[in-house]
Amino acid sequence: MGIYDLDLQELPLFEGLKADEVDQFIQATGAKVKRYGKEMRILKAYEANSRIGIIVEGEALVIAEDRFGNESVGHRLGCGALFGSTTAILPEYANPTAIEAVSDVLVLWVPYTALIVAGPRLGRIHGIVMRNLLVAFCRKNVLMMQKLEVLSQKTLRERLILYLLQQMSR
């Protein structure tokens, strides 16, 4: 399966772009698609990474690793989810989380540096992708703030009520 056979314009990162514009973006940034089998580590904890990953097909888990090597499952990533952006943008940060495939997973890897420098060549396309990237980051921030709000409640009852209210509003 070639990269151009995929419906990448369906991904949230490419919302507002046509298929040929997505192809132009892929060529300009040198993005690559890679397939991972079930239970494979897509990204290892503390691993240096210079690319932003976008799940095209399948599901993966975010696994947090502590300093003693103990692992705990954070949350599930589905189609369109972004990962690896923290270490790609902040290479000095040693991220303690890993990404593991739950099923066969297809990932689009976009080199962060190429994403930044491709702006003048891509014009409007770059602006749309960057806007979509910022929207994705803001949505992640909102989810993190909601988790923090739930965890800061004093009683289990308060946590449960707030969590259910948040789920209802989604």
CATH superfamily of 3-169: Jelly Rolls (2.60.120.10)
Q: What confidence tens digit (pLDDT) does each residue in 92-143 have? A: 998 899 999 999 999 999 999 999 999 888 999 999 999 999 999 999 899 8
Task: Give CA–CA dist 37/115, Å, rounded.
Answer: 27
Domain boundaries defined on the chain: 3-169
Q: What confidence tens digit (pLDDT) does each residue in 30-65 have? A: 999 999 999 999 999 999 999 999 999 999 999 998
CA 33 to chain centre: 14
Total-model pTM: 0.85
- Sole residue written with tokens 């990953």: 53
